[in-house]
Chains A and B, each alone.
Chain A
């Protein structure tokens, strides 16, 4: 699976959009970009995934660049409950479904 690079930490004011970047310059054509988050002392929670088109769901939006070498997770209106570690993961769509977690970005949402 391709490696990803994320900033170790970010701050965001409550109510503002949180934009979390991820670099995956070695991604291959059939690898998807997944985003998970982990709130302290809980299991990770799936947020969103995509291949090459931008995606949006009730939690977030995922913007993938045209060359697919980077992506941005957008939380449109961050709340205190969005404070968590966010993981960007790239993986093949094989049946193994193995997820390899990097160090992630610790997002702190403040008042």
Chain B
């Protein structure tokens, strides 16, 4: 199946700093990628849809100025958590649909664990 990678796999940062998380589709092109956040013992919550060459679409309640998304190429989307605070500590996961079929399956990255001190 298609492979999606994320970098870094984990990161620890100080409060107030910004952190960039990369999501790459390794063997396919993705015009759309999705970013999720998962708190401990909770389900995945969709944050935003990343669109190559255009602005991201954010879910209700997600601050677009805090979670900056850039989809610069067909294989790379980045999520930047700006001015991170301890409450932003979470597991961030990206996904991308593979193939052009409308019912295509999505492939998920391994996730990035962010800890803000």
Which chain A residues have a beta carbon within 8 Å of chain B's beta carbons? 32, 34, 38, 41-46, 49, 87, 93-104
Instruction: Answer whether residue B113 sits at the interface, using C-beta atoms and an 8 A cutoff.
Output: yes
Whether B46 pairs with A99 at a CB distance below 8 angstroms is yes
Residues of chain B lying within 8 A (CB to CB) of residue A100: 46
Inter-chain CA distance A103–B45, complex, in Å, is 10
Contact indicator A99/B34 (Cβ below 8 Å): yes
Please tell me which one of the listed residues B43, B49, B91, B110 contacts residue A104 in the complex, with CB atoms under 8 A apart: B43
Which of B91, B93, B106, B108 contacts A97, CB < 8 Å? B106
Residues A42 and B106 in contact, CB atoms below 8 Å apart: no
B111 near A49: Cβ-Cβ < 8 Å: no
A34 to B104, CA, bound (A): 11
| Interchain pairs with CB closer than 8 A, number | 57
Q: Could you show 15 A-B contacts with beta carbons less than 8 Å apart?
A: A32-B103, A41-B111, A42-B110, A43-B6, A46-B105, A46-B106, A46-B107, A93-B102, A93-B103, A94-B102, A95-B102, A97-B32, A100-B46, A101-B45, A104-B43
- Docked Cα-Cα span, A97 to B93, in Å, equals 16
CB pair A43–B109 under 8 Å, yes or no, is yes
Q: How far is the CA of A98 from the CA of B96 in the complex (A)?
A: 10
Instruction: Looking at the assembled complex, report how far the CB atom of A17 sits from the nearest CB atom of chain B, in whole angstroms.
Output: 24
Interchain CA distance A97-B108 in the complex, whole Å: 13
CA–CA, A100 to B105, complex, Å?
A: 14
Task: Decide: A44 and B93 in contact? CB cutoff 8 A.
Answer: yes
Q: B25 at the A/B interface (Cβ < 8 Å)?
A: no
Give the distance in Å from the alpha carbon of A90 to the alpha carbon of B45 in the complex. 15
Partner of A41, one of B1, B4, B44, B113: B113
**Which residues of A are found within 8 Å of B91, using beta-carbon distances?**
41
Whose C-beta in chain B lies nearest to the C-beta of A46? B105
Contact A98 B44 (CB under 8 A): no
Beta-carbon contact of B93 and A43 below 8 Å: yes
Chain A residue at minimum C-beta to C-beta distance from B34? A98
